[in-house]
Amino acid sequence: MSASAPLVGIDAIRAAAAILDGVAARTPLVGFGRPEDRVLLKAESLQPIGAFKIRGAYNALAGLDPDDRAGGVITYSSGNHAQGVARAALLFGVPAVIVMPSDSPAVKRARVAADGAEIVVVGTASEERRVVAERIAAERGLAIIPPYDDDRVIAGQGTCGLEIAEAVPDLAAVLVPIGGGGLASGVAAAVKALQPRARVVGVEPELAADARESLALGRVVAWPAELVSRTIADGTRTQSLGPRTFAHLSALMDDVVTVTEEEIAAAVRLAAEESRLVVEPSGALTVAAARFHRRALGAADGPIVAVVSGGNVDPDAYLRYLAAPIPA
């Protein structure tokens, strides 16, 4: 679909919510910090696969022609979308092939394998795994489920924003992590449709801030794999937005805030200590923004919801994050 096509609308998101009923959890809003701060964490870490990606993956598989779906699916992902497609394929009873980078967390690879998907390991560049997936899809006749630049995926992820907008009628702002932009696009589409005065603020690591640069320049900018691979937030190591996600974020995103590696690690710890949530670094981006960059959010009085995108973190790394210093 071209970048100039109409954006995903609320009707498509509501349709996705009906499809996801009984598959994706309607995750809770958990308090964070002082009550007067009115910060709530949207705990997508409590999804069946530990991340929001089940929403878009299942909706995309449901949108396939039944014959195409029966032939099997393939995707390329650093981890959480891989788990989403593997689980969705398992639920539909179809085979799945997942192209994953060599630096994806072991816990994510193990869970993909546990759902019966075939794993193909490639290098760290997101472009490389896309090319390999497209080649395998052509060779085997598999349907590609893109990780983010797909309207079915965006609509599925948008159900997270739908739940937020319905649950918080006086919403001031939503903080959402940005990797490839599928979650941010869907959440922004839902929130702006239902609560247009609420601000939608994306959050990226300083070490992988390609979306902020792209939106500032008005065109998609790709960062080299060796740069984005520096961040501990592995879910945001995507090298660039796609045409569709860039179109959505350009139209709907109010701002992008960046956070440091030290702030991300501290946010993992703070989510555990203050909200009793296990959060992976990518999911902790918004927690870091809420705690360390409150003034930059520009939110009016009212609740701020930070989307915690996932909780799939290697245990050894998690122990290190729990001991991370808290920046002043």
CATH number at residue 45: 3.40.50.1100
CA distance 252 to 84: 25
Q: How far apart are CA 220 and CA 66, in angstroms?
A: 34
| Alpha-carbon span 198 to 164, nearest angstrom | 11
In this model, does residue 1 exceed pLDDT 80? no
233-262 as b/e: b if 16+ CB within 10 A: bbbbbbbbbbebbbbbbbebbbebbbbbbe
Q: Are residues 173 and 61 in the same domain?
A: no
Q: Are residues 177 and 254 in the same domain?
A: yes
Q: DSSP character for 64?
A: S
What does the radius of gyration of the chain's CA atoms come to, in whole angstroms? 18
Co-location of 82 and 204 in the same domain: no
Active-site position among 42, 53, 108, 192: 53
What integer pLDDT is reported at residue 127 of this predicted model? 81
In a domain, 261, yes or no: yes
Assigned domain for 46 exists: yes
**Is 309 one of the catalytic residues?**
yes
Mean pLDDT, residues 235-241 taken together: 92
The pLDDT value recorded for residue 103 is 83
Query: Which stretches within 40-150 are classed as H helix?
Result: 53-62, 66-70, 80-92, 106-114, 126-140
Q: Identify whether residues 176 and 299 lie together within a single domain.
A: yes
What pLDDT, in 10s, does the model give residues 124-177?
A: 877 888 899 999 999 999 999 999 999 999 999 999 999 999 999 999 999 999
First to last CA, the chain: 46
Catalytic residue among 45, 78, 229, 309: 309
| Domain closes at, from 144, 166, 196 | 144
Q: Are residues 41 and 185 in the same domain?
A: yes
Residue 94 φ then ψ, to 5°: -125, 155
Residue 15: predicted pLDDT: 98
Cα(255)–Cα(160) distance, integer angstroms: 19
CB 129 within 8 A of CB 266: no
Other beta carbons less than 10 A from residue 299's beta carbon: 21
User: What pLDDT, in 10s, does the model give residues 96-133?
Assistant: 999 998 888 888 889 999 999 999 999 887 788 889 99
Q: Residue 93: count other Cβ atoms within 10 Å of its Cβ.
A: 8
Is there a catalytic annotation at residue 108? no
- Lookup: tokens for 272: 């555990």
Q: Are residues 68 and 156 in the same domain?
A: no
Q: Is residue 281 part of a domain?
A: yes
Do 215 and 73 belong to one domain?
Answer: no
**Beta strand pairing call for 173-177 and 96-101:** unpaired
Question: What global pTM score does this model have?
Answer: 0.94
> Do 155 and 239 reside in the same domain of the chain?
yes
Same domain flag for 86 and 135: yes
- 185 with 84, same domain? no
157 lies in the same domain as 61:
no
Structural domain includes residue 5: no
Residues contacting 135, CB < 8 A, separation 6+: none
**Biggest CA-to-CA distance, the chain:** 57
Q: State the total domains in the chain.
A: 2
**Which of residues 121, 144, 167 is at a domain's end?**
144
